[in-house]
A = this chain, B = another copy of it.
Amino acid sequence: MSTKRFILPESEIPTQWYNIVAEMPNKPLPPINPATKEPLKAEDLYPVFCEECARQELNTKDAFIDIPEPVLEQYKNYRATPLVRAYGLEKALDTPAHIYFKNESVNPLGSHKLNSALAQAYYAKMEGTTNITTETGAGQWGAALSYAAKAFGLEAAVYMVKISFEQKPYRRSIMQTFGAQVTASPSMSTKAGRKILTENPTHQGSLGTAISEAVELALNTPHCKYVLGSVLNHVCLHQTVIGQEAEKQMAMAGEYPDTVIACFGGGSNFCGLALPFMRHKILEGRNTRFIAGEPASCPKLTKGKFAYDFGDEAGYTPLLPMFTLGHNFKPANIHAGGLRYHGSGAIVAQLLKDGYMEAVDVEQLDSFKAGVLFARSEGIIPAPESCHAIAATVAEALKAKEAGESKVILFNLSGHGLVDMAAYDQYFAGDLVNHDVTADDIAATLRDSGIA
């Protein structure tokens, strides 16, 4: 029998996060103050973020940062996650490619998001915060954050994108089971929400609007900090436990990936898997391809513009260097709620600009087609977000078959779809469609968003 799952003992869980910024030839551009256009210092972020997270956000020196012991203790609840050779999928595709996936879906909260939620909740607690607030799209980040808050004795308030709040009631229930307060966003409870709702009463929400509401709450509440599930450098940092484990596990399998693939919303699971492997491309010139799979309905990497833009709809955040569709971009109501975000995060923006990685866009119907194929061949129903990584993997595996090449492909199964079954129901019923975005649409929202 050949080995299928590569398992690391607890002693092999990484004890440091990998900060690629310290080793990037071109550093990501800094966040800047929208008023003064000056680069921000860590202190400028303290009113909103935990101080340690703010320092990590701007850390360009330390390639490795210690994971605090209490966070490691929590990681031991579910890490290391398995690396799995997808023999079933290979057989279904009849491909000579070797396909591996890092299975973050076995995390009890259902996705990779807990890796950063625990870190951020821990720092918040250590700094005397009593309440944390955040946004969530499909609810994977919100669920993780709700548990992390409970684990460290904090209260959590989560703004959940309205369309997901309605599409995914079980994720709301999960957050509530962990004691979080969940509000559909846009809501009337914040100035930002009220402005959006009075201008557009049927607004279905987006990550950008939910961020605005959460940031506003943090700014106006004592002992309350804002935490974010993706995009920012420190979130990508915390996720690098994924790739560090995968490196060791690929070595156990006796292989090294030719291609590393992950879905892409703000960058958290992509960076988590890719950056530790990217290190070898940067330092040793290793010839690995990195592919971010984004939805065709929200194509910031493939069709967006490299520019400074706000991270949220209301313009509360600093200006961030991004590949962006404009912070006023209103993504279609696809089921991959975690990918409905207008911009890319500074690290990925720079890596894409510098040619270290590439991106593909995936149509909604192709994503579910790939997800169903994966479910039936591997027994795991993937999250709609992860289906985008699977679709990109299937495309690469079929190219390898065409070329008769035995490529090694590694993708991130960022989460399971057990709480997204309504999406599968709609897919099988033929009720889902693709949502394409034209160059004209993008030009218009970029203009609306103040980006020339």
Contacts and interface: CB of A to CB of B under 8 A. Distances in A.
A179 interface: yes
A107 to B, nearest CB: 9
Interface in A33-92: 69, 72-73, 76-78, 84, 88
A422 B147 CA distance: 19
A76 B5 contact: yes
Nearest to A105: B108
A105 B3 CA distance: 22
Contact of A421 (B3, B105, B174, B425): B174
Given A10-B5, A170-B421, A109 B379 contact: yes
11 contacts: A3-B10, A3-B76, A108-B381, A114-B379, A147-B379, A151-B379, A169-B421, A170-B422, A173-B425, A174-B418, A177-B424
A380 interface: yes
A372 interface: yes
A72 B176 contact: no
B76 A4 contact: yes
Given A3-B76, A106-B106, 15 more contacts: A4-B10, A4-B73, A77-B84, A88-B151, A109-B379, A169-B421, A169-B425, A170-B421, A173-B425, A174-B418, A174-B421, A176-B425, A177-B376, A178-B375, A419-B419
Interface in A404-449: 416, 418-419, 421-422, 424-425, 428
Copies in the complex: 2
A392 B116 CA distance: 34
A375 B425 CA distance: 28
B72 A173 contact: no
Interface residues of A, number: 47
A105 B78 CA distance: 12
Given A9-B7, A376-B178, A381-B174, A1 B428 contact: no
Interface in A10-44: 10
A366 interface: no
A177 B110 CA distance: 18
A424 to B, nearest CB: 5
A174 B428 CA distance: 12
A418 B170 contact: yes
B177 A372 contact: yes
A289 interface: no
Contacts of A223: none
B110 A418 contact: yes
A308 to B, nearest CB: 38
Nearest to A74: B379
A303 interface: no
A378 interface: yes
A150 interface: yes
Contacts of A422: 170, 173
